[in-house]
Structure 1
């Protein structure tokens, strides 16, 4: 049991660095380049699994609903989610991004209720409201009058869209029976890279090129290997040991790890706004986490 919680915590630590890197390299590497090369490295590492993945692809293609689910999950989880994070990193801080990222359970709850018709308890809706208020406080810097002037951080809005895209990805993702997580991830990365390729080529046509130096290469290698593959492996190992409901609790600590990394690097300082937003968002998602079991219907 302890090992399962340790795996989930390590996975979240590895993912938290992703937000810090997005903030650091925002002016050096274009978001499209960062996203494309990250998944290209992950694709190359998983290439030995290509044959078994292609043998299992029939189970996706023969089921139209499964196929659309797979395509949607690939486009949102691989192509869109992290690209939006890297774009947001140009306009907002890593702390803001991580706080908004953990609102995903809010959107998952809403999507399940509206589109899947799953009943939701009143107390769960209170958690949704609490986390939403925390998100609004963070985005508006505590000044709600900003909403009337529409002077909201572009990066925070992009991160909100990223959280929504991740939530839809989490809802629609369905791994076919008989297919391993690694095989499914390999196929998702392939589709995601194909979708990113036109944007990458456009980026190159406009004159953008990756600055080849030890620093940028180390960032991309980290994202491709540790943030993508190692974290994915640890997360799934954790789910296998303690279950998804227990493992996801560690994800709510994402802003804490991001802040600690930033604080150790002397890049940020704690303030009342961050603390207030964290308490509201963390309180809300914890309520959602422990009460989102469907209410009984007569």
Structure 2
């Protein structure tokens, strides 16, 4: 059990590192190009894992499912995250992302016909109030750019919510590794297309540190986190694993504040705590509840 919890925590740490690297790379690469490079490398690694596990890669027969998941979970989620990180502190972006379970909760009845409990509704209201406080906390240094960043992160939460609920539906006849690899393949293509007209040489200022960050987000924050999370879920069970995803914003604060000397106002800090508390309350399910397939991919993170 302890090994399983360690793996779950490790996965959230690796995902948290993506926000830190994304914040650093936001000044060195356009978001669309960064996302294309990241997922291009990740696709190769995921394809290799499929080969090692002797799994087929049905790119054509599952094209519809892979394309939809690639659009929401790889292209939209990651690109919007990197856009947001151009204007927001990594710690603030991470705390806003604590609202992801709320989007999953709200979308589940629409796509999966799942009922929402009273406790989950209470958690939803609390988390939404926390996000509002987070945004208000940024008004002290508000600008058009910070508002754009907040909108981008909120839209990325919606994209990940759609990716998760649709992924749960498609996972009925396709394993998570294959789904992730397929989504990465089509998401990379979409990201590459989005570079047309949005990228020119003058926007690229890649340093040695930037190269290391790209290596990290393409391996540790994608494939490594995916393996750790799924191994942890297998050991402790999906129900017990669910609340651990809410550690993600905690790590963005732990890493972002000392590495970037980010300053958090009192209102922003309180908003983050409320958002995380509401998300934990809304997403937690006991053993007796129906098992929920939990964010099965390191994908967009």
Task: Answer yes or no: same fold by TM over 0.5.
Answer: yes
Evaluate the alpha carbon distance shift between residue 213 and residue 279 of structure 1 in structure 2; reply closer, same or farther with a 3 A threshold. Answer: closer
1:73 is aligned to 2:74: no
Match runs of 1:187-226 below 5 Å: 187-204=182-199, 206-208=200-202, 210-226=204-220
Secondary structure in 2 aligned to 1:253? helix
Selected match of 1:287 from 273, 281, 291: 281
Work out the number of aligned pairs and report it. 284
Aligned residue for 1:46?
A: 46
Unaligned runs of 5+ in 2: 291-301
Aligned residue for 1:57?
A: 58
Contact in 1 for aligned 2:87/2:146 (Cα 8 Å): no
Aligned residue for 2:108?
A: 112
Farther off after superposition, 156-165 or 43-52: 43-52
Contact in 2 for aligned 1:74/1:188 (Cα 8 Å): yes
| Structure-1-length-normalised TM-score | 0.85
Selected match of 2:269 from 264, 275, 284: 275
Evaluate the alpha carbon distance shift between residue 291 and residue 142 of structure 1 in structure 2; reply closer, same or farther with a 3 A threshold. Answer: farther
Selected match of 2:251 from 257, 262, 272: 257
Selected match of 1:121 from 117, 123, 148: 117
Bigger radius of gyration, 1 or 2? Answer: 1
Unaligned runs of 5+ in 1: none
Contact in 2 for aligned 1:121/1:291 (Cα 8 Å): no
Aligned residue for 1:236?
A: 230
Aligned residue for 1:5?
A: 5
Farther off after superposition, 237-246 or 155-164: 237-246
Aligned residue for 1:155?
A: 149
Match runs of 1:84-95 below 5 Å: 84-95=80-91
1:68-110: CA deviation from partner (whole Å, max 9, x where unpaired): 4432211111111111110001111111211111111111111
In 2, Cα distance between equivalents of 1:266 and 1:123: 37
In 2, Cα distance between equivalents of 1:251 and 1:117: 23
Shift of 1:151: 10
In 2, Cα distance between equivalents of 1:71 and 1:25: 26
Shift of 1:266: 5.3
| Structure-2-length-normalised TM-score | 0.84
Runs (4+) of structure 1 moved beyond 6 Å? Answer: none
CA RMSD of the aligned region, Å?
Answer: 2.9
Contact in 2 for aligned 1:127/1:286 (Cα 8 Å): yes
Evaluate the alpha carbon distance shift between residue 33 and residue 138 of structure 1 in structure 2; reply closer, same or farther with a 3 A threshold. Answer: same
Secondary structure in 2 aligned to 1:211? coil
Contact in 1 for aligned 2:101/2:161 (Cα 8 Å): yes
Shift of 1:2: 0.6
1:34-56: CA deviation from partner (whole Å, max 9, x where unpaired): 11111111122234356688835
Aligned residue for 1:20?
A: 20
Shift of 1:181: 3.3
